[in-house]
Structure 1
C-alpha cells in the first residue's frame, strides 16, 4: 500500500499535520510520500491506494490567490504559488482511489472548513466518494498548532488504515 499526502501550507502548520499523519501511517509499515501542491503529480500513480489532501482554512474555504497574498503579507512562505484548489482543478480523477481531506483552522463556530471545500471539489472533479477528514486547530493565523494536535494527527494517520479513525 502506498499513500500520497498533498498539502498546501502557508505558515507550516498544515505541513506539520501532514508529517504527523505520515508518521502515523509509516508506523504501520506503509510507504508514505508528502508533497506540496506545487510538486504533486496531476496523474496519481497506480500504486497509490490512499490520497490525502490538506490545506489551511481561509475565509471559511480553501485558500485563494488573494487570501494567500494576504497571508504572505503576514509572513507566510508560499505567497502566490498555486494551492490545493488549483491542483485539484488539474487532477486526473481515479474513481477507485480512496481520497480523504483534512485542514487546519483557527476554530470557532464560523471558521468553515477547507477539508469540506476540498472534498466537494474532488467530488466535482470525478472522484467517487472523497471523505472529509478532521480539522486541526492552530493558535492564531501563523500558529503554532494547539497543544496535542500533532499527536492527534499521528493517531488519525494510524487509524486511517485500520478503519478506526481518531477524530
Structure 2
C-alpha cells in the first residue's frame, strides 16, 4: 500500500504530526511525507491513501494573509507560499481515499478547525474522506505540540492503515 502524507506547516508542529503518522505506518506501507510546497498537483497523485494535515488559522484553513503573518512570526520567507486551501481546489472525485488532521491551540478552545473545513471542501468536490478528522493540540499559536500528541499520531497512523486496508478489501 502506498500512502502519501501532505501537510502545511508554519511553526513545524503540523509537520511533526505528519512524520509521527508516517512512523506509525512504516514497515506496513510505503509512506512518503511532503510539505505542501513540494506536493505534486493533485492530478499527478499516485497513492492508495492520502493523509492531509493543516494548521488551524482564524477558525479554519489558512488564507494568504494568515499564512503570511504566520511565516513572518516564524521568521520564514513568505515567497507567496501555497496552502492546503489552494491545493485541494484541484481535487476531484478521482482522488484516493483521504484522511484529514489539523493542529490547533490547546488553550483557546475555539470552535474552528482546519480539518473540518478541509473535509467540507473535499466532500463538496466528491472526494471520499475515510474517517472523521483528527485534531492534535499545540500550546499557544507557535507550539510546541502538547505532551503525548506525537505518540497519539503514531497510533492514529496505525489505525488509518487498518481502516484503509479494510476499505480497499471492500
TM range (shorter): 0.7 to 0.9
Q: Measure the CA separation in 2 of the matches of 1:146 and 1:49.
A: 30
Say yes or no: does 1:45 pair with 2:33.
no
Counterpart residue number, 2:135? 135
RMSD: 1.9
Deviations 1:18-53 (A, max 9, x none): 0000000114x200011111211222434x111110
Assess if the C-alpha contact under 8 Å between 2:49 and 2:97 holds in 1: yes
Structure 1 unpaired stretches of 5+: none
Distance 1:68 1:7 in 2: 14
Give the CA deviation at 1:111.
Answer: 4.1
TM-score (norm 2): 0.86
Offset at residue 92 of structure 1 (A): 4.4
SS at match of 1:54: strand
Kindly indicate whether residue 85 of structure 2 is the aligned counterpart of residue 85 of structure 1. Answer: yes
Partners of 2:61 and 2:118 within 8 A in 1: yes
Q: 2:154 maps to which residue?
A: 154
Counterpart contact for 1:56–1:105, Cα < 8 Å:
yes
- Of stretches 108-117 and 132-141 in structure 1, the one that deviates more from structure 2 is 108-117
Say yes or no: does 1:145 pair with 2:109.
no
Give the aligned length. Answer: 161
Q: How much has 1:76 moved relative to structure 2? A: 5.2
Label 1:3 to 1:76 Cα distance change in 2 as closer, same or farther (>3 A). farther
Contact 1:53–1:99 under 8 Å retained in 2: yes
Aligned residue for 1:60?
Answer: 59
What is aligned with 2:29? Answer: 30
